[in-house]
Structure formats: C-alpha cells, structure tokens
Structure 1
C-alpha cells in the first residue's frame, strides 16, 4: 500500500461511512473491556467530534485522539485496509490522560 499523509487520512476519516469500517478482534475485546461503546457509538463519536491529534504510526496506520472528557482523551488506532473504495479497520482504543497530549 502506498504511503498516506496525515492530511489525506484526516479527510478520509471525515467522510467515512459506517459500512466502510471494520473492527479487528482486538478492537472488539478492548472496546468491551475499556469503553463499551460498540461500533455504532464509536462511529457517531468520530463523526461528531474533531480530532485533537493525529499521529502516523506506520504506513497506513494512524492514532487519532479525541477529547473525551475534561481529564481524558479517547485514542483510536485505525489501519487503512484499502484506498479505493476506502476501508478502515479499528485496531484498538484506549482512554489516555489529556495531560499526556498537552505539553
């Protein structure tokens, strides 16, 4: 897969449809233990909130951070499965202290 920059990934993420998102087994387990949101609520959350940060982790894999509460950010790791048509995989999710992001 070709390299993708953060700007392009952000644009894809802002236009993604729920049917273009898959969940990895790891994500399903982490969501069950950590968040209990489910795919539909995650989708509503990412479409209703603007990321506070996007980090490129490797080719086609991005960590997207959203403000979750006053104290926590919700970080979701996405992997780009294919570009055309776009398919994203939810890899994992976790809550992290907001202060870890703010310097």
Structure 2
C-alpha cells in the first residue's frame, strides 16, 4: 500500500499507538536502503574481518526492486520514521548512549519487547 505522509495525516490513519516508516529516495530518484535486519554475531564478524565484499551472500542484504514489494525487516532508519508520542514516551525515546545510526535498532528491539 503506497501512502504519503500528507495523505496519512489527512485521512487520520496515524493513530496514537502507531509507528510508520516511509521510503526515502536518493537525489537521482533511486530508492535508499532504510530498512534493516537486526545485527547478528556472524554479520559483525564478517564485517570486522573485512570479508564483506567476498562473503556478501552471507549478509543477505536487502535489495529493493519496487515500492510494492514486502520485506522481512527488523527496524527502519529514523530519517523517515513517524512514531506517535505515546509510543515514543512508553519506550523512553532514543537511548543517547548509542552511537549515531544505532539508536533506531535499539528502539525497535524495545518496541518488540513491549508488544
């Protein structure tokens, strides 16, 4: 289902207990990867040993072909994330102890634990 932010707000689909993520586009119109799977020990090990380019098939990185595709994802980038104040406060917001780019992962782990 393709939904714009404005359409979501105008129709009143954004409820007090919702989390929505939107696709993001690069300046050339190609889709930006903003959907991720949780990190694993094996993925960390492969990336740390710098075998990422040779063993890329082990990482199973998601690639996007169309916006209509469904994906098995764990968390979304905060660059295009709409989360209700109610949910955000229940989760105590982003943990400032996390380094840049990792706070979304932690937020979604805590969200799954609450559900």
TM-score range, shorter chain: under 0.3
Please report the TM-score for the alignment, with normalisation by the length of structure 1: 0.26
Specify which structure has the bigger relative contact order, considering alpha-carbon pairs within 8 angstroms and separated by 6 or more residues. Answer: 2
Instruction: Write 1 or 2 for the structure with the bigger share of strand.
Output: 1
Please report the TM-score for the alignment, with normalisation by the length of structure 2: 0.24
Larger radius of gyration: 2
